[in-house]
Amino acid sequence: MERIILDVDTGLDDAAALLLAAGLEELHIEAVIATAGNVGLSKTLENTLNIMETVGADCPVFRGADKPLLRDPVEAGDFHGVTGMDGPTFGPRVLQHVQEENGIDALIRLLKENPHQLTVVSVGPLTDLALAMAKEEGIALLAKEIVIMGGSFSYGNVTKVAEFNTYADPEAAQIVFSSGANITLFPLDCTRTVTLTKERLDAYRRKAGRATEVFAACMDTYMANYEKKGQGWPQIHDPLCVAYLADPTKVECESAPVAVDIEEGTSYGQTVKLTADDTSKIRIARSIDIPWFWSLVERALDTLS
């Protein structure tokens, strides 16, 4: 069983990633850290607590960074809504509340207590990881693996060349990508290939259970916002990082060093593959077994029902 720490900026596809992680028997969630990203920290934290309450999880939820390292915050409410997770409604929480310990300190503590045993799944800006690395030298090397949704090696989704998570904190991404840690990266080039159709969503909607209800409500909003923008079926980015850990053989990867453009200008936040040299290489996901991925989603929703 993979023991994971999830670092999320919970919007609609982050919610799907959390539901998937909670419903797969191959994974055990040790902790969740909410960071600013899709919307501000107060909203991503609230969304995270509500999703973890929905699945009945007893793992701790921590408060991460409330702003990028250097740049002004950018948000993605046009895709995720004003709350960052428009669609589902939630009642009072019984199980979940935010922990007093800061999320960056918790990440450092957990990795030091469990060296090479915990995988960090980061599907938002990489600010929390970068702050942990600045505070505790070599901490990223204690992770069994760091799985990241971010970057693009073709075209972006927030600028012509930059993907949102990397663009939201390019300096943090550059620190993490150059850390020498064991990293697997899911860029837009891979995640764009996995889309949710109305027919599939309707099939999931017919399942019983609160988790499925929340999933469907999230995806209704996500789908509507993609349609408004004329961008086709919604792309299911973040859950791919979770699915990969259930069976890495279902993902085809290549290896290359990766850098982030942190100079002001039109290419700010762009990820680039470097020529192989002594620089640490990162596994870059190129494709995933899509029918298998959707079978995992179905199984997780069945488990949570």
Contact between residue 274 and residue 236 where contact means Cβ atoms under 8 Å apart = no
Catalytic residue, chosen from 7, 9, 86, 220, is: 9
| Pure H helices in 126-259 | 127-135, 164-168, 170-177, 188-191, 198-205, 210-228, 239-246
The C-alpha angle with vertex 114 and arms to 182 and 19, in degrees rounded to 5, equals: 75
- Alpha carbon distance 172, 167 (integer Å): 10
Tell how far CA 136 is from the center of its chain: 23
9 is catalytic: yes
d(CA 57, CA 221): 24
> 263-278 in b/e burial notation, b at 16+ Cβ within 10 A?
eeeebbbbbebeeeee
Rounded to 10°, the helix 12-23/290-304 angle is 70
Please list the active-site residues: 9
